[in-house]
Structure 1
Amino acid sequence: MATSKAMLILSVLAMVLTGCKVTTSDSHHYPDSGGFVSGLFFDARDTGRHYPASAWSLTRYTEACRNEPLYFETHSGRVRVYGSPAYSETSFRAAASELERRIDGVLSRFQLRWSDFVEDRSAAAPYPRQVIGCLSPEVPRSEFVSASPAAVAFNPYYGQWPYEVGQIVTHEIVHFVQENLSRYDAVYSLLPHWFAEGQAIVVAGEPVAPVYQHYDYDPLWDVIPDDAANIPYRFEHYGLAYRYLEKANGALAMTVLLEMVQLLDWDGGFDGEISTGESRAFVEAFNSASLVDHQNNYLSFQRFRSDYHDLLNSSY
């Protein structure tokens, strides 16, 4: 695996020489149920395809389906949604439809096809050829959807889904893809909070702060969610910081960066964090990915962090 992954990353590099933000309204979304993708219900006790159980790949939201054998699988075989039989058939079909319809659009922003994602996804992830969903009572209405490397959890009450369904689900699928591309077997995310959220915001088409307002917030200081100030517009600044990198380097370079993080996690020689809190795997991958600034000069992680405002200030 190490040799093939290293060759993949080196070849792609030669060609180019990822706490969530959710905003929902009080209005509800009721799309035509006749427009749902087709599929069938199954019982894992018959098929043997039980919901993932590894703590590596689940969160408290996605753990809710561990003991649920009922699942709905789309006819493509790419999406499977587990949940209690107490929830409506509509909820199963709606969640499966959202995952099935949006995964390709998200992957295209990562410059990937479905087959690429399956090949590049972490070897530690269960069901690498499927996107797993979970109807979870742990997901509050205010959040609606929450992703982990193994599954995407939905609030199970379809009647409470907000109008912003598409944007919210897209945002969470981005996190699902990020974690599958950047982790091999690390227990926790190796991506800084600002990077993970910024990429999800840009891909989902959510608001990004204007460049001239970059002094209003220091996004790169938010390495983990607990670092963040209680300021709603910080998410727009995460998007601004990520967009700067993608604009200067391209979306494919960002995907290569994630894959390099996974390779370093597999290697095992870059465990732990640096003094400012970022994972050593992310920082080493960033510095090895030949990223540049808006003037096409080499950009190390340390320079990006220390000179962030100067870089943004000179970019417009």
Structure 2
Amino acid sequence: MTTSKATLVLSVLVLTLTGCKVTTSDSLHYPDSDGFVSGLFYDARDTGRHYPTSSWALGRDTEACRNEPLYFETHSGRVRVYGSPAYSETSFRAAASELERRVDGVLSRFQLRWPDFVEDRSAAVPYPRQVIGCLSPEVPHTEFVSASMAAVAFHPYYGQWPHETGQFVAHELAHFVQENLSRYDAGYSLLPYWFAEGQAVVAAGESVAPVYQHYDYDPLWDVTAADAANTPYRFEHYGLAYRYLEKANGALAMTVLLEMVQLLDWDGGFYGEVSTGESRAFVEAFNSAGLVDHRNNYLSFQRFRSDYHDLLNSSY
């Protein structure tokens, strides 16, 4: 897998040389605590493994653990969850268990295994060999979980977690993976909102709009969350737009696209946005990735954006 991915990255590089959706129900989630993954509690003042502090890699929700030295680490060493000692042991263990159990399934949707992710993750991010979690009082129970480049934040009171916990964690882990693959040190996501949410919807196995309903919404106009209409079904249309690209090109090509965005961010010559609002890094990567439409014709970003409905209309 790693070899084939590296080959594809190199072949692509020859051509050229990142408000989230969580709606919880009223039903709560109480898995058997005996099923939590094993691990131990530690104090960062003893181990020296303090929570990340770089503001460029943290969001508002994940910044809450900056000064918290207590953490729970799974025995695999892949997951570490920080938080206040005021929160229950169960909350620490539950958050760590969800991250440990979901990460491989999410990575598989990106055509990655754990060693691939560690290798391809931005070298600038803290703790590249761990998924960092945070029990954050900034996350309301109505949202439950949110992700940044450096960490995944959980609502800290386990008894208020929703029944759909697994799907929501998978969605946010998809954002965590996206940001780690598509940014080097940019202070904000380089992915259009529709792309980031659409990929997360597909990776989490959430509902995608039927192709014949594509005229009901214009997902590619939602470059940022501020551009989006207050329409709940828009996420299904983000998923539809992303799935069109993945179906025509394969999941691996979408992962390579993210890596190319990171390369352009690292290279430093593609700052700012294009006239339609997308980051230059994303548009340049998209146009250089050799993506095709459903008829196997070259697909530029500009054509995908302007001809979206015609493309979808002729794809079924």
Cα pair distance change 1:292/1:13, threshold 3 Å: farther
- 2:209 maps to what in 1? 209
Q: Give 1:24 shift.
A: 0.9
Residue correspondence of structure 1 range 56-205 to structure 2 within 5 A: 56-205=56-205
Residue correspondence of structure 1 range 280-295 to structure 2 within 5 A: 280-295=280-295
Deviation per CA, 1:215-250: give whole Å up to 9, x if none: 010000000000001111111100000000000000
Matched-pair contact (CA < 8 Å) for 2:197–2:239: yes
Letter in 2 for 1:145: V
Structure 1's consecutive aligned runs of 4 or more residues displaced over 6 angstroms after TM superposition are 5-8
Cα pair distance change 1:245/1:8, threshold 3 Å: closer
**TM-score (normalizing by structure 1):** 0.96
Matched-pair contact (CA < 8 Å) for 1:192–1:222: yes
Distance 1:249 1:19 in 2: 27
Matched-pair contact (CA < 8 Å) for 1:6–1:263: no
Deviation per CA, 1:283-312: give whole Å up to 9, x if none: 000000000000000000000000000000
Residue correspondence of structure 1 range 31-50 to structure 2 within 5 A: 31-50=31-50
RMSD: 1.4
Letter in 1 for 2:33: S
Matched-pair contact (CA < 8 Å) for 2:181–2:258: yes
Q: Give 1:6 shift.
A: 8.8
Distance 1:22 1:256 in 2: 27
DSSP 3-state at the match of 1:146: strand
Structure 1 stretches lacking a partner, 5+ long: none
Matched-pair contact (CA < 8 Å) for 1:13–1:256: no
**TM-score (normalizing by structure 2):** 0.96
DSSP 3-state at the match of 1:176: helix
Instruction: Percent identity, please.
Output: 88
DSSP 3-state at the match of 1:132: strand
Matched-pair contact (CA < 8 Å) for 1:13–1:253: no
Q: Give 1:177 shift.
A: 0.1
Q: Give 1:124 shift.
A: 1.1
DSSP 3-state at the match of 2:171: helix
Distance 2:163 2:241 in 1: 28
DSSP 3-state at the match of 2:122: coil
Q: Give 1:8 shift.
A: 7.2
2:40 is aligned with 1:28? no
Distance 2:108 2:215 in 1: 32
- 2:263 maps to what in 1? 263
Deviation per CA, 1:152-173: give whole Å up to 9, x if none: 0000000000000000000000
Letter in 1 for 2:22: V
Aligned length: 309
Distance 1:208 1:245 in 2: 13
- 1:9 maps to what in 2? 9
Distance 2:189 2:7 in 1: 24
Distance 2:235 2:257 in 1: 21
DSSP 3-state at the match of 1:80: strand
Distance 1:230 1:126 in 2: 35
Deviation per CA, 1:98-119: give whole Å up to 9, x if none: 0000101111111111111011
- 1:243 maps to what in 2? 243
Moved more, 87-96 or 19-28: 19-28
Cα pair distance change 1:49/1:76, threshold 3 Å: same
Matched-pair contact (CA < 8 Å) for 2:8–2:256: no
DSSP 3-state at the match of 2:138: coil
- 1:220 maps to what in 2? 220
